[in-house]
Amino acid sequence: MSLLTVGTVAFDDIETPYGKAGKIIGGAATYISWSASYFTDDIRLVSVIGDDFPENELDRLKRRGVNMEGLQIKKGEKSFFWAGKYHTNMNGRDTLDTQLNVLANFDPILPDSYKDSEYIMLGNLTPQVQMRVIEQLTSKPKLIALDTMNFWMDIAWDDLHKVLKKIDVLIINDEEARQLSSEYSLVTAAEKIMEKGPKILVIKKGEHGALLFHGNDMFYAPALPLKEVFDPTGAGDTFAGGFMGYIAKTGDTSAEGMKKAIIAGSALASFCVERFGIERISHLSQEMIKERVLQFEKLVHFDPVL
C-alpha cells in the first residue's frame, strides 16, 4: 500500500571514531525511503534539493519504487548540508555545520497523485511544513506518523502541538519524550504525550532498543548488541522507514502488528549503523533482512519461567 514520506534529501559530512565520510548522501527522507523500500514498492517522496544532487542517487531510489514526482529540484541552488562529529563512544555528537540552502524556504507541494496516500511518514522538519503536508491530503490516511526533535520543542512549541493533534503515531527518542512531557519516567511521559494527540507512541532508546505504547499495551523491543557501531547517522530514520514500510505492507495497525513493525524497523536500523551513511542499507537482500529479524527473535526469546 502507498507510503508518503516527507523529509530532507541532503548531503552529510560525518566523522566518527572509525573514519571520515565527506559529502555523502543523507537526509531523513533518503533513509526512510531506502528502508521502507524493502517492504513496500509504492513510496511517494516529498522533498527539495538543489541542482547539485547526483542524479544517479535519485535513479537508485526510483528503481526501488520511489516516486519522485514530489521532489522539487531548485535550479542554481544547493541541497541541504549537515556536518557532524561523533564523540569517542558514539553516545553523542557535535554539529559542526548546518547549511539550510534549499530547505530555508521549503514549501512541500503534494502532486495530485500523492493526495490519497494511505500511510504517511512525516520526517523531522519544521512542524509547519509537516502540517502543510497533512492539509493537502484529500482522503483520510490510515495512519500518520511523525518524527520531531528537541529543537522544535525549543522554538516551535505551539506549532508542534498543533500538528501532534493531527497524527496517530509519534516517533521520538527518550530525551525528546522527557522534554516534551517534563517527565523522567518514560511510562508517565508516554501518558502525558498521548494526551497531546497521538494514540500511539514509539520511544527510541538507541543502543537500548525501543518502546511502543499502543493504547494500554506496552512493548519493549531490544536493539541488537553490535560489536561495532560504525556510524549512527540515519539510524532513527531507517528505523522509522522500516516501521512504516512494514505497516504499509501488512496494513496491520493493531498493537500486535505494530510490535512486528518495530522489530522490522529495528532490524533495518541495526544494518544502517554498520557502515557510513546509506552504504549498508542500500545493499540489502530479503534474505539478509530475514536472517537479521530471526536474530532479534532469538535475542529476546525465553521459555515460560514459572
Q: Rule CB under 8 A: which residues touch a copy of itself?
A: 88-90, 184-188, 205, 208-209, 211, 218-222, 225-229, 246, 256, 259-260, 262-264, 267, 289-290, 293, 296-297, 299-306
Min dist CB 293 to a copy of itself, Å, is 5
d(CA 160, CA 89): 32
Min dist CB 87 to a copy of itself, Å, is 10
CA nearest 79: which of 7, 9, 6, 5?
9
The smaller minimum CB distance to a copy of itself, of residues 56 and 89, is found at 89
Min dist CB 220 to a copy of itself, Å, is 4
Locus of grid cell 535513479: 59
Min dist CB 205 to a copy of itself, Å, is 7
The smaller minimum CB distance to a copy of itself, of residues 97 and 306, is found at 306
Min dist CB 210 to a copy of itself, Å, is 11
Min dist CB 34 to a copy of itself, Å, is 18
Strands 66-74, 80-86: pairing is unpaired
The smaller minimum CB distance to a copy of itself, of residues 69 and 228, is found at 228
The smaller minimum CB distance to a copy of itself, of residues 140 and 301, is found at 301
The smaller minimum CB distance to a copy of itself, of residues 89 and 95, is found at 89
The smaller minimum CB distance to a copy of itself, of residues 25 and 261, is found at 261
The smaller minimum CB distance to a copy of itself, of residues 128 and 250, is found at 250
Min dist CB 31 to a copy of itself, Å, is 20
